[in-house]
Amino acid sequence: MTYEEFGRRFFEVAVTEPRIAEAFRGIAGESFDVGPIPSGPGGMVKVLARVHIDEPDITRSVEDLIRFTVQIPLRIRIEIDLKLDRLKYDVDGLITLPLTCHAVEPLQIHFDVQPPKPADVHVDVASHNMRAELVRNLAQVDDEVRRVIAKQVAQEIDKPEVRAARIIDVDKQLRDAMDPKPEAEVVEVVVDEADEAASTSG
């Protein structure tokens, strides 16, 4: 096996779906509030939402580069405030993020992910009645929710702990694994012959 073949094999073994899932574990289970957002003509209605982030689903593609598709499910509760009334929606959402692995100096693996855009956010709104459907379309609820969710999730994946989890410092891990550990101190216990004899006889 050549050095190049070894490096490629190492990459494919080290960079797996569970490793990527670990990088995104920090945002799974998080919830955040959206709004109130002025929406519709003249901002006549206010849109509010409660968004919950579920565990991501991750698939890997091994080509010239190793790429992943990270799909993050969302559960969303939307309310449209009409001042005299409030309409409620149950929403299933999904964010799709492409992620690519790169080798970086001095000896690191980086998982590069692009911040989501509104187009990367799919929102499936289930309106309870025709009136709610009309108001939702008039107020452009879906567009507003996608825009704000994309911005919020971009902030979540840019948190320091998530960014740190997207880096494998191979150099440091190899040094930690290969550096000699200090020898354990050997403690000699001197047993008095009389005490030993007494213990044996007892």
Is residue 69 exposed (0-12), middle (13-18) or buried (19+ Cβ within 10 Å)? middle
> What's the mean pLDDT in 115-133?
69
Q: What does the pLDDT look like over 65-113, one tens digit per residue?
A: 888 888 888 888 887 777 766 777 777 888 888 888 888 888 888 888 8
Angle between helices 130-138 and 141-157 (to 10 degrees): 70
Provide the pLDDT for residue 201. 55
Average pLDDT estimate for 115-137: 66
Task: List 86's β-bridge partners, or say none.
Answer: 81
- The string of pLDDT tens digits covering residues 142-175 is 777 788 888 888 888 888 877 887 888 887 777 7
Q: In the prediction, which pLDDT does 20 show?
A: 82
Round to the nearest angstrom and report the end-to-end CA distance of the chain. Answer: 64
Domain boundaries, the chain: 3-201
Given a contact cutoff of 8 angstroms between Cβ atoms, the answer to whether 57 and 30 are in contact is no
Residues 76 and 95 sit within 8 Å (Cβ to Cβ): no
Which whole number is the average pLDDT over 34-55? Answer: 74
Length of the chain: 202
Q: What pLDDT band is residue 130 in, cutting at 50, 70 and 90?
A: low
Highest average pLDDT, of 13-27, 44-58, 63-77, 166-180, comes from 63-77
Q: Is the pTM of this model over 0.85?
A: no
pLDDT score recorded for residue 182? 57
Q: What is the pLDDT of residue 58?
A: 87
- Determine the pLDDT at residue 3: 84
In CATH, what number does 3-201 get? 3.15.10
